[in-house]
A and B are shown apart, each in its own frame.
Chain A
Amino acid sequence: MATEGTYYVPAQSKWPIIASIGLFLTLLGAGMMMNDMSAGVKNSSAHYVFYAGGLIMAWMLFGWFGNVIQESRAGLYSAQMDRTFRWGMFWFIFSEIMFFAALFGTLFYVRVLAVPWLAGEGEGAMTHEMLWPDFAASWPLMVNPDNDLFVGAADVVDPFHLPLLNTLLLVASSITLTLAHHALRANERYKIKLWLILTLVLGTAFLFFQVEEYIEAYNELGLTLSAGIYGSTFFLLTGFHGAHVTLGAIMLAVMLVRVYQGHFEADNHFAFEAASWYWHFVDVVWVGLFIFVYLI
């Protein structure tokens, strides 16, 4: 490790501009795909732009993180740099917390205020009398105010079926990950691999059952994106959570590869810690989801 007082300032890098082009193409392609889909365009070539952007992003991530790993292993990073990474990851997770706060806020607002108001609660709101006098509030909302435009779901997701299983899987994965971390600190390489692989298996199983749940929701419950606000909030919250589990699992998979490569020391392994912070964050979000989306 370099000494305190010399902070590593990297030389020029090509990755930021490549990342910008990749991000631009990915989002441009996604926008074109969505517009073509909504306009009913056949033979759209928009997905090529999207895939090109995605490939550039993947290449960039490999290259950029590769650079950082190499610099780290070359001993260019001081303890001060380590604190920079910690602050960076901490504030990144804080931004993610605020993103989910907006989504949870939406759920609470709809459940506590909007739906009761639509059913005539509160003062001065005439929507109920003027537009939908027959509408009655309930949660989950099965019959929407305009139930022809937004056909409500036939049934509710049973929290004690797949969601409970998924809760157990994810909580267990947090425990196994912590065990992997303990093993890393004790420098027991075999145990790190064991617990990390188990964590990944649990995470993947979670994602598998999540997909299973979506299939059941669409095929058996009539719970779709267009099933009104219940379906909207359900898929928004669980969907973005699932995307974050996927990202966390990719991070952990990279960590596993790095463990096999012989990376990480007992007292110097922030990449591993960052991935594990992220995984625990995703786990805590799930507990919130299980309570507020499924249970009550």
Chain B
Amino acid sequence: MTSVTDTASSLDQEHHHGPAKGLMRWVLTTNHKDIGSMYLWFSFVMFLTGGAMAMIIRAELFQPGLQIVEPAFFNQMTTMHGLIMVFGAVMPAFVGLANWMIPMMIGAPDMAMPRMNNWSFWILPFAAVMLVSTLFMEGGGPNFGWTFYAPLSTDYSPPSTTFFIFAIHMLGVSSIMGAINIIATILNLRAPGMTMMKMPLFVWTWLITAYLLIAVMPVLAGAVTMMLMDIHFGTSFFNAGGGGDPVLFQHIFWFFGHPEVYIMILPSFGIVSAIIPAFARKHLFGYTSMVYATASIAFLSFIVWAHHMFTVGIPLIGELFFMYATMLIAVPTGVKVFNWVTTMFRGSMTFETPMLFSTAFVVLFTIGGFSGLMLSIAPADFQYHDTYFVVAHFHYVLVPGAIFAIFAACYYWLPKWTGHMYDEPLAKVHFWMSFIGMNLTFFPMHFVGLAGMPRRIPDYALQFANFNEISSVGGFMFGTTQLLFLFIVIKCIRSGAKAEAKPWEGAEGLEWSVPSPAPYHTFTTPPDVK
């Protein structure tokens, strides 16, 4: 074994203090800050790609009738928009934030496995290329919705589905390795004195998120593997003719899928739990209950999956169990919302951009939570299922939930990352344009959904036209505003007032004890945590 090793770089124990020069710095890096930045930039590129697809969808839905794209292409757009936003934009953004912040928050020198960390990232661009390239293949890209239900995704799918499956496999490998790395870092690399119950909530929520990832990404791998075998090797997992069951696919998918949606929201809870205390200038209310609430939500996420399948024909006892279990989630989530509100109560609050996004998060995520509660009622869900009400619901938890929290995190930590303050007036414009645009887009969807407009169609009945027009205008507003975000970030990297080590008066945590911008290596010797 020893004869086939590359000794040149790895045995070189010298600590070089700055980053290497040129492109290869990014390709070969083992530095958690470099890798975090790459994750965040990759996520933003994917955000714009998936966003462009959303713009196509909204342009087509601006009026009833077919005007811009073919229905077949429309289906590919809705499918790819969902897949890219979930696997390309939201998840990598959170992993990027974890990479940047967790080692600095717990006083670790880097991630526990720095080389594997780089591999987790570099799989992503290759997986994204494979996924997006399906659009240009014969027969078109995946057109069965981001949930890829069988038999649409098996018997009736285009040939490119094979590459979609392998892209999902690659994304899964990346997520599992990233999650293992995060867990090992949190459990093993905390500075002396940083006990579990002293960890910032962002670290706690990520620990639990990583656990969810390791638990459910393999289940998704199992689902797509069975699809692959049904497509190419003649098996009948999802084919009733051979004794299988298409509904089995939905069970496996949502056993992954429901924890997956919490994977996309738990880190957000951690972010706003850092930002709200900082700008309310009070300690977080109910830290311990926040930890337990997060763990409870994670546990419940494993026993609610069939609430996505109320109309598919599951036994009555199943409908009841999954309905009540789903409603239970409102309890720990309520604990969190009340804790945030109580943290704000009688605080000396100021509304810099991170706080604006966090406050909007609390209000709008709660709206999304309430529409979720409506959907959890099985008999009512028979009316809401597969309508735009569902689209409104999950965009209310994902856009002002996940995406707003990511924006809040970027503005909150940009001074630490770049050493510059961002342009506050422009950032406020970004916030208000996003806030108004997002509500204009998704609020009317509640109404058209309740009135019966089905999701995933390129055309609709005339009475839905006005609300759809409003949604489209809001969508274009939200979409173009994100180019302003890109401008603000670039401007912040290149110029701006010099940031102090702790630019926010009320901020807490180890990350503010190092200079801004954070040195390339931080905490090579662990700090003392009191």
Binding site for B on A (CB under 8 A): 5-17, 19-21, 23-24, 27-28, 30-31, 34-35, 37-39, 62-67, 69-71, 74, 76, 80, 83-84, 87-88, 91-92, 94-96, 98-99, 101-103, 105-106, 109-110, 113-115, 117-118, 122-125, 127, 131, 141, 144-146, 149-150, 224-226, 228-233, 235-236, 254, 257-258, 261
Q: Report the bound CA distance from A20 to B127 in whole Å.
A: 9
Contacts of B136 in A (CB 8 A): none
A15 to B214, Cβ gap below 8 A? no
Q: Report the bound CA distance from A10 to B1 in whole Å.
A: 20
B30 to A12, Cβ gap below 8 A? yes
CB-CB nearest in chain B for A231: B235
B187 within 8 A of A: yes
B509 within 8 A of A: no
Which of B28, B173, B251 lies in contact with A14, CB distance below 8 A?
B28
Q: Report the bound CA distance from A98 to B219 in whole Å.
A: 6
A13 to B243, Cβ gap below 8 A? no
Q: Report the bound CA distance from A114 to B150 in whole Å.
A: 15
A-facing residues in B151-191 (Cβ within 8 Å): 159, 162-163, 165-166, 169-170, 173, 176, 179-181, 183-184, 187-189
A98 to B218, Cβ gap below 8 A? yes
Give the most central of B24, B123, B126: most A CB within 10 Å: B126
A10 to B115, Cβ gap below 8 A? yes
Q: Report the bound CA distance from A150 to B218 in whole Å.
A: 28
Q: Report the bound CA distance from A103 to B217 in whole Å.
A: 13
B244 to A232, Cβ gap below 8 A? yes
CB-CB nearest in chain B for A89: B180
- B4-12, B55-63, B355-363, B413-421: which lies at the interface: B4-12
B479 within 8 A of A: no
Which of A12, A114, A226 lies in contact with B248, CB distance below 8 A?
A114
CB-CB nearest in chain B for A125: B313
Q: Is the interface of A mostly helix, strand, loop or mixed?
A: helix
Determine how close the nearest CB of chain B comes to the CB of A209; give it in whole angstroms: 23
B214 to A80, Cβ gap below 8 A? no
B245 to A91, Cβ gap below 8 A? no
CB-CB nearest in chain A for B235: A232
A9 to B242, Cβ gap below 8 A? no
What are the 3 closest A-B residue pairs judged by CB atoms, nearest first?
A66-B5, A226-B234, A102-B222
A150 to B112, Cβ gap below 8 A? no
A-facing residues in B35-68 (Cβ within 8 Å): none
B273 within 8 A of A: no
A70 to B5, Cβ gap below 8 A? yes
B226 to A69, Cβ gap below 8 A? no
Q: Report the bound CA distance from A80 to B230 in whole Å.
A: 45
Q: Report the bound CA distance from A40 to B205 in whole Å.
A: 49
A28 to B130, Cβ gap below 8 A? yes
Q: Report the bound CA distance from A257 to B240 in whole Å.
A: 49
B486 within 8 A of A: no
Q: A63-B6, A70-B11, A125-B313 are in contact. Are A106 and B248 (CB under 8 A)?
A: yes
Contacts of A230 in B (CB 8 A): 243
B221 to A99, Cβ gap below 8 A? yes
- Mask, B344-366, CB within 8 Å of A = 1, is 00000000000000000000000
A-B contact pairs, 6 of them (CB 8 A): A7-B189, A35-B162, A71-B10, A87-B112, A109-B245, A109-B251
A27 to B170, Cβ gap below 8 A? yes
Determine how close the nearest CB of chain A comes to the CB of B280; give it in whole angstroms: 36
Binding site for A on B (CB under 8 A): 1-2, 4-7, 9-14, 16, 20, 24-25, 27-30, 108-110, 112-116, 118-119, 121-123, 125-127, 129-130, 159, 162-163, 165-166, 169-170, 173, 176, 179-181, 183-184, 187-189, 214-219, 221-223, 225-226, 228-229, 231-237, 239-245, 247-248, 251-252, 255, 313, 315-316, 521, 524-526
Contacts of A69 in B (CB 8 A): 1-2, 5
B2 to A20, Cβ gap below 8 A? no
A229 to B180, Cβ gap below 8 A? no
Q: Is the interface of B mostly helix, strand, loop or mixed?
A: helix
Q: Report the bound CA distance from A65 to B232 in whole Å.
A: 34
Determine how close the nearest CB of chain A comes to the CB of B189; give it in whole angstroms: 7
Which of B237, B521, B525 lies in contact with A5, CB distance below 8 A?
B525
Which of A5, A8, A34 lies in contact with B232, CB distance below 8 A?
A34
Contacts of B223 in A (CB 8 A): 102
CB-CB nearest in chain B for A233: B237
Q: Report the bound CA distance from A127 to B10 in whole Å.
A: 62
Q: A92-B180, A110-B243, A114-B248 are in contact. Are A70 and B10 (CB under 8 A)?
A: yes
A30 to B1, Cβ gap below 8 A? no
Determine how close the nearest CB of chain B comes to the CB of A167; give it in whole angstroms: 24
Give the most central of A39, A69, A113, A254: most B CB within 10 Å: A113
Determine how close the nearest CB of chain A comes to the CB of B523; give it in whole angstroms: 10
Contacts of B130 in A (CB 8 A): 24, 27-28
Contacts of A105 in B (CB 8 A): 251-252, 255
Which of B1, B20, B180, B189 lies in contact with A65, CB distance below 8 A?
B1
Contacts of B163 in A (CB 8 A): 28, 31
Q: A21-B126, A123-B315, A228-B242 are in contact. Are A62 and B1 (CB under 8 A)?
A: yes
Which of B4, B119, B248 lies in contact with A109, CB distance below 8 A?
B248
B1 to A257, Cβ gap below 8 A? yes
B232 to A38, Cβ gap below 8 A? yes
A67 to B126, Cβ gap below 8 A? no
B242 to A110, Cβ gap below 8 A? no
Determine how close the nearest CB of chain A comes to the CB of B218; give it in whole angstroms: 4
Q: Report the bound CA distance from A244 to B112 in whole Å.
A: 26
Give the most central of B108, B118, B216: most A CB within 10 Å: B118
A84 to B214, Cβ gap below 8 A? no
B313 to A124, Cβ gap below 8 A? yes
Contacts of B5 in A (CB 8 A): 62-63, 66-67, 69-70
A67 to B218, Cβ gap below 8 A? no
Q: Report the bound CA distance from A236 to B234 in whole Å.
A: 12
Determine how close the nearest CB of chain B comes to the CB of A88; give it in whole angstroms: 5
Determine how close the nearest CB of chain A comes to the CB of B425; give it in whole angstroms: 40
A236 to B229, Cβ gap below 8 A? yes
Q: Report the bound CA distance from A71 to B113 in whole Å.
A: 14
B222 to A103, Cβ gap below 8 A? yes
Which of A16, A39, A74, A91 lies in contact with B115, CB distance below 8 A?
A16
A96 to B30, Cβ gap below 8 A? no
Contacts of B183 in A (CB 8 A): 87, 91
B1 to A232, Cβ gap below 8 A? no
